[in-house]
Amino acid sequence: MEAYLDHAASTTPRSEAVEAMLPFLRDCYANPSGAHAMARTARKAIDESREIVAEALGARPGDVVFTSGGTEADNLAVFGVLDRDVPGDAPAVAVSSAVEHHAVLEPVVARDGRLVGVDDRGVIDLDALEAALGPDIALVSVMAVNNEVGTIQPMAEVAELVRRVAPGAVLHTDAVQAVPWLDLRPIGSAVDLLSISAHKFGGPKGVGALVARDHLSLVAQVVGGGQERDLRSGTQNVAGIVGLGAALQATTDDRHEAVHRVTKLRDRLLDGLRASVPDLVETGVRSSAASAGPDRSHRVPGIAHVCIPGVDSESLLFLLEKAGVFASAASSCASGAMEPSHVLAAMGVPRHVAGGSLRLSLGHTSTDADIDAVLAAVPPAVERLRAFS
């Protein structure tokens, strides 16, 4: 039996989502834009899913634009704002944190945007953000939760700062990794644009959503038949959208319990690893003054990230897989090889330490047995690799 600790890459499908999707894969196959009864059934399912998303994210149903996933939602947010006509000839500029997912980072960098640094915990430097906000800034994009190390960004403070210093700027957050762990209603109410991806919370791959306040003008990046408020043309992925809605409902319903349970698993995992691999670094976690224990309050429970000096990630993952533990180092390129992490570099983790990075991510189906498997597999793997280094 494998221990799956890669939920941040993709988590176990929710049975509610799978069940809800099946009728739309088999029987109700009509185009939701059609005029007949089967089309209306599909349309109704999309509308219901749209309401679930709006409710969970502090938005109105009319704000929700379904996309092909988190990357498309992020691209639409950044390019959709930067492509707007602006008076005068000053180019619209975007600013984002240096630790964004590549789906935000690449568009921002492609348009000569500015990147704002983070501290050793991965938390955005608000002073630097303030300094980067000028009258030319059209878009600010700060992720709600980092996908590699799990750091929660102070979105309320970011929103307050942006409204005060750059009231004309549009505020976007990539909330792809936040959905299972945070109540997104306050964040959704505070920002203009918010991206989610279904397979990160038990829905299917290939579907996501951008919440876009309906007063915002965005420039569509996929044009055609005018679906999704003219912001995302193309026949809707009905089954996917239904699965997204069902998974989001199930996730929201038991979030409180899941956060409590997974936090305990995460703490047992990290405390156990620290005890058995003494020089292991719990990435970006400081000791709390009160207890002298690690302060994980800025982390979501689902992501445990460590760096093991003297070990390389690829070899460690190989040996963990042999021991039945599925994990990741963080990011991968198209060829499947590991690339140095821009997130760890931005946090000031030295390259030789970052080379031993290991992301163990938990989800709604994680169990104590998974933690036992990791705690049994990591120490001998580390010992072996150090003996050969």
Partner 1 sequence: MVALSGGVDSSVAAALLVEAGHDVTGVTMKLWGGDSDTGCCSVSDVDDARRVAQQLDIAFHVFNFGDGFATHVVDPYVRAHADGITPNPCIECNRHLKFDALLHRAEALGFEMVATGHHARIVTGADGVARLARGADRAKDQSYVLHMLDQSQLDRVVLPLGHLTKTEVRAHAARLGLRTAAKPDSQDVCFITSTGGRTAFLGDRIPLRPGRVVDTDGADLGTVPAVELVTIGQRRGLAPGRDGTARYALDVDVDAAVVTVGPANQLEDTTIELHRVVWGHEPVLGDVLVQCSAHGDPLAAVLEFPAVPDLPEVPDSAPGTRADGGRDGIRELTVRLAAPLRRVAPGQSVVFYDGDQVLGGGIVRPSPR
Which residues on adjacent β-strands are paired with residue 281?
307
Q: Does 383 bind partner 1 (CB under 8 A)?
A: no
User: Which one of 91-99, 159-167, 289-297, 336-344 is the stretch in contact with partner 1 (CB under 8 A)?
Assistant: 336-344
Site track 269-308 with partner 1 (rule: CB under 8 A), x = hit: ----------------------------------------
Contact 93, 285 (CB under 8 A): no
Say whether residue 376 binds partner 1 (CB under 8 A). no
Residue whose CB is less far from partner 1, 286 or 351: 351
Instruction: Decide: is 342 part of the binding site for partner 1 (CB under 8 A).
Output: no
Give CA–CA dist 39/125, Å, rounded. Answer: 49
Residue 289 or 333: which CB sits closer to partner 1? 333
* 378, burial (CB in 10 Å: exposed 0-12, middle 13-18, buried 19+): buried
* Binding flag, residue 315, partner 1 (CB under 8 A): yes
The least distance separating partner 1 from the CB of residue 335, rounded to whole angstroms, comes to 4
Each as own residue / partner, the long-range contacts of residues 273-278 (CB below 8 Å, 24 or more positions apart, any chain) are 273/304, 273/306, 273/374, 273/375, 273/378, 276/375, 276/378, 276/379, 277/308, 277/378, 277/379, 277/382
Stretch that binds partner 1, among 100-108, 255-263, 332-340, 372-380 (CB under 8 A): 332-340
Site for partner 1 contains 314 (CB under 8 A): yes
| Residue 230 region by backbone torsions, left for phi larger than 0, else alpha for psi between -120 and 50, else beta | left
Catalytic residue among 333, 334, 369, 387: 333
Contacts of 228 by beta carbon, 8 Å cutoff, 6+ apart:
65, 66, 67, 236
- Options 48-56, 66-74, 298-306, 334-342: segment touching partner 1 (CB under 8 A): 334-342
Known catalytic membership, residue 307: no
| By CB under 8 A, residue 319 contacts partner 1 | yes
Rule CB under 8 A: say whether 339 interacts with partner 1: yes
Which one among 338, 345, 375, 376 touches partner 1, defined by CB under 8 A? 338
Nearer to partner 1 among residue 140 and residue 382 (C-beta): 382
Q: Which of 163, 322, 348, 367 binds partner 1 (CB under 8 A)?
A: 322
List residues with catalytic annotation.
333
Binding-site ranges for partner 1 (CB under 8 A)? 314-315, 318-319, 322, 334-339, 384-385, 388-389
